[in-house]
Amino acid sequence: MNTVEVSTAERMREFGAWLATLLRPGDLLVLSGPLGAGKTVLAQGIAAGLGVRETVTSPTFVLARIYPDGRIPLVHVDAYRLGGVVEVDDLDLDADVDTSVTVVEWGAGLAERLTQDHLEIVISRPRADEVGETRIVRLVPSGASWIERLRARAPVS
């Protein structure tokens, strides 16, 4: 199984940077986990690994931010306040999906249909009542492309 324990926010950023080494134009990452799990911190690491120079912040109130300056453009979306698939369609994410890496926080059940292959990243605490920084990150590949990439390069912790 593709599961990694991440002990600090800095390690989450490092994990994101490692993940960026696997990314290709057209990739979709769907991030899920409770509030404060580290989804945006992971997105910051992915952006750094892609070479994005701009500071990556949560797109909660703007819904989507585009960072065009990395080796692959990054589209960072927060679907938390979206009411369903129709509102995801209204963002026109499919216009950029073939040439960018699209990272969708809170996207489970909403964004997966944007591409045939995608990677779901589920972030949780080791125990639901734990308040420390340690997180469990589970990579759930969908499609042959992601299964092959993760088989070839196991996650680092």
Residues sharing a CB contact under 8 Å with residue 8, sequence separation 6 or more, in sequence order: 133
**Is a pLDDT exceeding 80 seen at residue 11?**
yes
Locate 141 and state its tokens: 């590949």
Convert the pLDDT of each residue in 22-80 to its tens digit.
999 999 999 999 888 899 999 999 999 999 999 888 766 556 788 999 999 998 888 65
The answer to the question of residue 70 being in a domain is yes
pLDDT the model gives residue 152 = 85
The answer to the question of residue 5 being in a domain is no
The answer to the question of residue 25 being in a domain is yes
Q: Which helix (H) or strand (E) holds 4?
A: strand 3-6
Q: Which domain holds residue 23?
A: 15-152
Rounded Cα distance, 68 and 113, in Å: 23
CATH code assigned at 45:
3.40.50.300
Whole-model pTM: value is 0.83
The answer to the question of residue 7 being in a domain is no
